[in-house]
Structure 1
């Protein structure tokens, strides 16, 4: 009784596996693309924060005649805001007439 023998069921399995593999590959590539975009955005955010901190430090020196004594001074007097869960700023004042050493590090927090 070849009439009830379904040939499609015997040949459908390789086609199904190929479809699953293609779907997994597309999903993997999409995930990598999203991660790449996220990393690029985080790098640009860090660069923007570095520029803002440096600009505020220079503005303070130009208007007040001394460099800010700490990071809190920049936050209170110059409106510096940033995502503290995403970035850590190490602010080391050297003196009132020397530009402070500023290091910005990314933390594991989300932006």
Structure 2
């Protein structure tokens, strides 16, 4: 009778161990997907914030100087705009000095 009890106890422990390993693996996969989703959202929000900062500085420049700046580098040097060129691809297109520039910011 004792041998049967030990065998059942061993199987129960093995099943509990496997269940724990599976639960940890599932939790790790869920955490990884959550991290990837949050990371993507933060990068997109950062890009939109960067775009808005550039547009606000362009409007401020137009209000002070009477025309929109021709280049993004002008905003960086004269209006304190700090652009993270390593994390974002930025296109700044100025059509004319009296037309608001088109700004596109894309995370790398």
| Structure 1 portions without partners, runs of 5+ | none
Structure 1 runs of 4+ off > 4 angstroms?
none
The structure with higher relative contact order (CA 8 Å, sep 6+) is 2
2:33 corresponding residue in structure 1: 32
2:6 corresponding residue in structure 1: 6
1:80 corresponding residue in structure 2: 81
In 2: Cα distance, 1:40 partner to 1:10 partner: 45
- The number of aligned residues is 107
In 2: Cα distance, 1:40 partner to 1:82 partner: 19
Q: Tell me the TM-score normalized by structure 2.
A: 0.86
| Structure 2 portions without partners, runs of 5+ | none
Q: Tell me the TM-score normalized by structure 1.
A: 0.84
